[in-house]
């Protein structure tokens, strides 16, 4: 088994915790001696132990008194550079030094200034052999939310909508009319468990009265974000229930009432996507799904402030309606989800 095999195993482990470690990256760690995995672990929840101590712990649990000697012969694989600073947990690089590991193989260097090469340097200074850059692109894409937040000072932004076969997005008379099928809805709810937040505009909140929860899929609810400049959404609407934290961006007040947070912004008619993105960055929100309406989606598209677009296309057609937003991106994946087609676009001009 080569280095790439074990780094891929790190990614498999790390993916188990998707949606639970933000704003930290997803990290897995595999410890190997003579081609045999003797321990592995992953970062399970924000604020708790990182992947490396969990992997070391598993070695001691499995091998008892032999663990210390085994670790001195071991190679540790980790998809992101071990941290070298004290945060909510001690430095993981120090743990490898303490147990005198023979070698550490790394996917990505950590872009965070508190680490960025410092973990590698600490390992090398202790006489540990270090190889980095294994499956670098794959590991970077895997933690694209984290890299976007650190390098661009904004959350990873996902645009999502459903459209008819003839590219209508919503009705013209303001009545809700469902476009995609039940499997598409379940998948959309799974996505909600994987991202930090979900954002809609005032019109969507009023017309659709959505719950914006993950009730069709096991997992956490995202933070609900609503753009409501003049606070016109009725407080009887679902977004004001206690099922999830809700943030209302508006021009009138800043206040906290139970789980409802009002954040006042100035001149929301100017540079709104940029203001929202920066505010979410300041709040440590690492990723957001934007579900509409058409005007909000259009603003983020025109500002070129998006990373992925996930579009469900149904087989049905309407005689009239509001046209779907136009996405100018690279079509990378297509899937059949029940009777709907899912197209995923990537924005290659975000850098």
User: Where would I find the beta strands (DSSP E) of the chain?
Assistant: 28-33, 36-42, 75-80, 103-108, 129-131, 156-163, 168-170, 197-201, 223-227, 246-250, 255-257, 260-264, 287-292, 308-313, 322-323, 330-337, 340-346
Structure tokens at 327: 């996405």
DSSP code of residue 66: G
Please choose, from the candidates 3, 25, 2, 23, the residue with its C-alpha nearest in 3D space to the C-alpha of residue 14. Answer: 25
Please choose, from the candidates 78, 73, 120, the residue with its C-alpha nearest in 3D space to the C-alpha of residue 101. Answer: 73
Cα 150 to Cα 82: distance, rounded to the nearest angstrom = 16
- Grouping H, G, I as helix, E, B as strand and the rest as coil, residue 142 is helix
Q: For the chain, 351 residues long, give each residue's pLDDT as a single digit of tens.
A: 799 999 999 999 999 999 999 999 999 999 999 999 999 999 999 989 999 999 999 999 999 999 999 999 999 999 999 988 666 667 899 999 999 999 999 999 999 877 788 999 999 999 999 999 999 999 999 999 999 999 999 999 999 999 999 999 999 887 888 899 999 999 999 999 999 999 999 999 999 999 999 999 999 999 999 999 999 999 999 999 999 999 999 999 999 999 999 999 999 999 999 999 999 999 999 999 999 889 999 999 999 999 999 999 999 999 999 999 999 999 999 999 999 999 999 998 654
Cα 310 to Cα 325: distance, rounded to the nearest angstrom = 12
Residue pair 147/96 in contact by the 8 Å Cβ criterion: no
Specify whether 34 is catalytic.
Answer: no
Placement of tokens 């006489």 in the chain: 127
- Grouping H, G, I as helix, E, B as strand and the rest as coil, residue 337 is strand
Residue pair 39/55 in contact by the 8 Å Cβ criterion: yes
Cα 171 to Cα 169: distance, rounded to the nearest angstrom = 7
Cα 150 to Cα 269: distance, rounded to the nearest angstrom = 27
- Grouping H, G, I as helix, E, B as strand and the rest as coil, residue 64 is helix
Instruction: Return all residues near 330 (Cβ < 8 A) that are at least 6 apart.
Output: 345, 346, 347, 348
Q: Which of 40, 52, 81, 291 is catalytic?
A: 52
């Amino acid at each position: 088994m080569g280095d790439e095999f074990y780094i891929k195993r790190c990614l498999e482990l790390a993916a188990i915790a998707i949606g639970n470690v933000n704003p930290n990256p997803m990290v897995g760690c595999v410890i190997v001696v003579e081609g045999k995995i003797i321990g592995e672990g992953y970062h399970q929840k924000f604020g708790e132990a990182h992947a490396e101590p969990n992997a070391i712990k598993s070695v001691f649990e499995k091998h008892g008194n032999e663990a210390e000697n085994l670790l001195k012969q071991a190679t540790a694989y980790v998809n992101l550079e071990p941290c070298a600073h004290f945060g909510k947990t001690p430095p993981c690089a120090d743990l490898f030094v303490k147990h005198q590991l023979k070698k550490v193989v790394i996917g990505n260097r950590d872009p965070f200034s508190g680490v960025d090469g410092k973990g590698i340097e600490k390992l090398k200074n202790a006489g540990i052999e270090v190889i980095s850059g294994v499956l670098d692109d794959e590991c970077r894409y895997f933690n694209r939310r984290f890299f976007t937040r650190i390098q661009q000072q904004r959350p990873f932004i996902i645009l999502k909508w459903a459209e008819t076969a003839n590219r209508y997005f919503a009705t013209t008379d303001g009545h809700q009319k469902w476009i995609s099928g039940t499997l598409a809805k379940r998948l959309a709810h799974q996505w909600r468990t994987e991202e930090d937040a979900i954002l809609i505009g005032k019109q969507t909140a009023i017309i659709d009265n959505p719950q914006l929860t993950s009730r069709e899929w096991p997992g956490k609810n995202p933070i609900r974000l609503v753009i409501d400049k003049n606070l016109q959404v009725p407080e009887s609407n679902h977004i004001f229930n206690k099922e999830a934290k809700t943030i209302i961006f508006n021009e009138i007040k800043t206040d906290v009432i139970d789980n409802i947070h009002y954040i006042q912004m100035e001149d929301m008619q100017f540079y709104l996507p940029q203001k929202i993105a920066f505010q979410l960055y300041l709040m440590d929100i690492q990723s957001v799904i934007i579900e509409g309406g058409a005007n909000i989606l259009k603003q983020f598209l025109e500002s070129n402030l998006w990373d992925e677009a996930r579009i469900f296309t149904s087989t049905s057609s309407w005689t009239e309606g509001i046209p779907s937003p136009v996405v100018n991106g690279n079509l990378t994946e297509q899937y059949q989800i029940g009777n709907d087609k899912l197209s995923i676009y990537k924005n290659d001009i975000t850098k």
